[in-house]
Chain A
Amino acid sequence: MIVLRRGIVFPSGVEGLMVLIFYIIRRVLFIPITLFGISLIVFSMIGMLSPYQRLATFISSPDRLKSENVDQLISMYGLDDPIPIQYGRWFKNLLQGNLGWSYVGKAPVLQALLQRFPYTLELTLFSAIPIILIGTWMGVLSALHHNRTLDHSLRIFAVVGWSFPDFVFGLFILMIFYSTLGLFPPGNLSLWAESIVKSTSFRSFTGMTTIDALLNGRLDVFVNALRHLVGPVLTLTYVQLAYILRITRSSMLDVLQRDYVRTARAKGLDERVVINKHAKRNAMIPVATVSGQTIVGLMAGTVIVEAIFNRTGLGSFLALAAQQLDYASIMGGVLFFGLILIIGNLLVDISYAYIDPRVRLD
């Protein structure tokens, strides 16, 4: 059942579906306007910097300050043109499907983004599974053992992870599991596996090595890719699961106080049924929302982990682009992430409306 803004309740079915489609179309129509606004803001911010500051794109370190004719670069790339003209030039190219050249990615911006996106998506998906599963499991356990030793222990464990800088924990994982034990290497693949993936006989379907390896029937490559994922996934899991744990715990505690849970218990239902069927299911509604946001947030929040584990994803790429003021990459990245965030949030909103009928699709 879907409820409209004015409280008119439509039954699920064709009419409900129409409302949903109308809602999606309206949100989708807003996407270009939102992205246009974002691009204007970001471009204006970059434009406030002097041409010499933006020259950092082309002279990336003091070692490169060698030749004298660097001023020629400023006029060559139009860095001293008025900002509206620069924006107009960028926008005109955008309309032609050209996001410009990425000096950080050493490729056209769109190509650089699309090459890195699968790495980030793969890491995000593989991390989201343990974060959500372990986070909710611990949250439920914590709530069920409210204010007892297990509750305190799990909360301390999670809070420690939450407050750990991810580069510290990442390096710790790298040193223990790779340098010392030789188990989980950084990077995407071992050299032998990479040569297979780059051979003509290996077809790329998704750009995600694990999935492509399975689709190509290469179990050895799949296992190798998984081994390279363990370190970053462990790091992200430990650092991120506290949030899910807290939401699950508080939601579960809230639900456990509700009348219907008390009623279920009063009816003499088995405690396991009360927990799993009545309490947990309802407690999962806010968790589902938060989980969706966590997945979307992970996409942009893997910068440090990507750097430490040498996974060349979008996060580290955009961090470098920001450092070097590579405006084409920054603009492309902002639009790309903006699009992902908008679509991700739309999906979360829709799924939330389905999970909780009280939600209105405004």
Chain B
Amino acid sequence: MKKILVLTWLLVFVLGISVAFAEIKNPDTYVYLHIGEPDTLDPGYAYDNASGEVLTYIYENLISYDGVNLQKFIPILATEIPTVENGLIQDNGTTYRFPIREGVKFHNGNDFTPEDVEYTFERNILFDPANGPQWMIIEALFDSQTLDELVADKIGTPLTEMVDENGNLINPDDAAKLIEFYQQVIDPVIEVQDNSVVFHLVRPFAPFLYILPKHAYWSNILDKETCVEWGCWDGNADGWWKHYNVKKESSPIYDKANGTGPFKFTEWDRTQQKVTLDRFDGYWGEKAKIAQIIDWGIDEWGTRRAMLEAGDADQIYMPAQYLDQVKDLKDLKIESGKRITVTAFHFNWTVDKTSDFLGSGVLDGNGIPADFFSDIHCRRAFSYAFDYDTMIQEVLLGYGERPPSVIPSGMLGYNADLPKFEFDLAKAEEEFKKAWDGKVWENGFKLTLLYNTGNDARQTACEMFKENIESLNPKFKIDVQGVQWPNYLDAYKSGKLPAFVIGWIADYPDPHNFIFTYFHSNGVYGGPQGEAYIKFAQENLNPIIEAAISETDATKRQAMYEEIQKIAYENVLGLTFYQEIALFPMRTWVQGWEFNPIQSGEANYNGIYKAE
């Protein structure tokens, strides 16, 4: 036995001693560690950062932002940026023409043509997967949110009532209607004219260009020939519905990719959550400096940190709370940049009566009524009872700032001088005394605030509310509960949360993307604020939000978005906690890295290389 032990330790020693620290590990490979893995490689379906990280470098778009300047575009697969001045935007902002670049090859050697652009957008619109990103394109081109809605509008019956889950027609006679729908509605909207692609919008849509650039992976340009060969929609009117809303994994390009980008797809190792991209030597533009990229999902923070420290990773994803663990490590540097994202707290004006979080359901000190937050004084009291600066210090270690409303800084509509609530417990007390004709102060209340476990921002926010509000009146009770994500999702979607903390990462850097989401009655976060809120929004906010999106004059739009934010402030529609400044720990040997303010694409892989 002793011999075995000695041999074991000898083996351990021999295995270990063979290691020596290299100057730069894997000098021609860039290893980026983050959380998770791509949801899919189909740009028509992808709607998550991990997918975007990869797709952004395999595929290309018609245009790109000019570096970190999100207000300026440069052409990529197009050769010019459409403007009114150069005549490429016409018809009062409803026609956009993109001259297409020649001499571009896809990774498999196919030529890139204007037909590929037309095919890409039409294919994605007809695909329109549930929970996918195509609503942006459909909204821009058709003033509708989904293909289902568009079909219902044009034909009179929703598409979901015409096709079954396998894409077969429930009534075969509907084929003619759907063929005609494609020919009359979809096909004419995107046209190839000579060497250009022309988009015809049903009405002016101010942020149209913003939904097209690099990093907007839903606008990645596909290779028609390859897609058809792999089993995607064949480009014909007949039978297009078979490709509508197919399940994610059933998409022929779920795990395949053929783009024109500087890196070609090599492997997606789903067991290891690892994607490998290799430099595309036939790239039309300046070739990437690094030969290989490994985009690797390692969910455990300690492992990511250890691999960065050992030099096996070049850059890692790091939530701000871990900054102290890496800031003093040798041979590491930390880059930072302000992201186009906000985290906010919103109220549910009409909580579902079956909610478990209402306690007794009346103002007797043991619960709240379902419409507790429909009283503006309650909302205002909560707004004064939150210590915004401490939140930024505690959760983000100071790496954040507080916009007045949900429009982040650096974007049209932002104005730092707009009014916002400040932490003031005396005013909070005053408002609580006015709430519900004094019953809140007199009887007290018990409210449950939920957060999904593992989300430190939400937990801290809920606990800060608890501490501050309970200090005002011994009859005030706030119960903070951490629940698993599925339970949180359930409570949120079924309207059972009395209030919720929720963030939004920009799909595109236009105020509409934030304002509509949080404040419009049909916005993703509008609905969960309850029936009373929806009614309020329909009367007071929807008209101006819808007018702002059609307005092409930037000055007028600025004024309109400021007006919306003032309405939000006056009616206390929510509290914006912070806009995060993201931190990017990386090895000092990483050169050419540039901050990218818009998701996705944590690194500028094109220009990156490794050198001491």
Contact = CB atoms under 8 A, between A and B. Distances in A.
A307 B15 contact: no
Contact of B484 (A174, A181, A323): A323
B12 to A, nearest CB: 6
Q: Which of B8, B131, B247, B310 is the most central at the interface, judged by chain A CB atoms within 10 Å of its CB?
A: B131
A252 to B, nearest CB: 14
A274 B222 CA distance: 77
Contact of A68 (B135, B247, B298): B135
A246 interface: no
Given A171-B302, A185-B312, A50 B494 contact: yes
Interface in A159-217: 171, 174-175, 177-179, 181-188, 191, 198
Contacts of A227: 15-16, 18-19
Nearest to B329: A179
A192 to B, nearest CB: 8
Interface stretch (A14-22, A69-77, A287-295): A69-77
Interface stretch (B85-93, B265-273, B578-586): B265-273
Is the contact region of chain A dominated by helix, strand, or loop, or is it mixed?
Answer: helix
A310 interface: yes
A323 B36 CA distance: 14
A46 to B, nearest CB: 11
A226 interface: yes
A175 B19 CA distance: 16
A182 B21 contact: yes
Interface residues of B, number: 70
Q: Which of B11, B486, B503, B507 is the most central at the interface, judged by chain A CB atoms within 10 Å of its CB?
A: B486
A72 B294 CA distance: 35
A226 B271 contact: no
Contacts of B550: none
Contacts of A223: 15, 18
B21 A130 contact: no
A115 to B, nearest CB: 5
A277 to B, nearest CB: 15
B602 interface: no
Given A67-B132, A69-B146, A324-B486, A137 B1 contact: yes
Nearest to B29: A191
Interface in B131-146: 131-133, 135, 145-146
A59 B524 CA distance: 14
Contacts of B273: 312
B160 interface: yes
Given A52-B494, A67-B132, A105-B270, A183 B486 contact: no
Contact of B303 (A59, A61, A133, A310): A310
A76 B245 contact: yes
A59 B489 contact: yes
B209 interface: no
Interface in A45-73: 49-50, 52-56, 58-70, 72-73
Interface string B121-157: 0000000001111010000000001101000000000
A226 B15 contact: yes
B490 interface: yes
Nearest to B254: A106
Contact of A115 (B29, B131, B249, B271): B271
Contacts, number: 167
A49 B303 contact: no
B307 interface: yes
A318 to B, nearest CB: 14
Nearest to A192: B26
Q: Which of B271, B484, B502 is the most central at the interface, judged by chain A CB atoms within 10 Å of its CB?
A: B271
B485 A63 contact: no
B160 A72 contact: yes
Contacts of B19: 182-183, 227
A191 B15 CA distance: 17
B299 interface: yes
Given A191-B294, A310-B303, A178 B310 contact: yes
Contacts of B294: 191
Contact of A76 (B39, B130, B452, B522): B130
B296 to A, nearest CB: 9
A107 interface: yes
A185 B298 CA distance: 14
A47 to B, nearest CB: 14
A73 B48 contact: no
A309 B303 contact: yes
B133 A67 contact: yes
23 contacts: A49-B490, A53-B489, A55-B489, A55-B493, A58-B131, A66-B131, A67-B524, A68-B524, A69-B146, A70-B131, A72-B130, A72-B245, A76-B165, A174-B303, A175-B302, A182-B21, A182-B310, A183-B16, A187-B272, A226-B11, A308-B303, A310-B300, A325-B486
What are the 5 closest A-B residue pairs judged by CB atoms, nearest first? A56-B486, A183-B16, A52-B490, A72-B130, A53-B486
Given A184-B15, A185-B312, A310-B303, 6 more contacts: A50-B490, A65-B502, A67-B132, A73-B131, A76-B245, A106-B39
Interface of B: 1, 4-5, 8, 11-12, 15-16, 18-21, 26, 29, 31, 36-37, 39, 47-49, 130-133, 135, 145-146, 148, 160, 165, 245, 247, 249, 255, 267, 270-273, 294, 298-300, 302-303, 305-307, 309-310, 312, 452, 455, 484-487, 489-490, 492-494, 502-503, 505, 507, 522, 524, 527
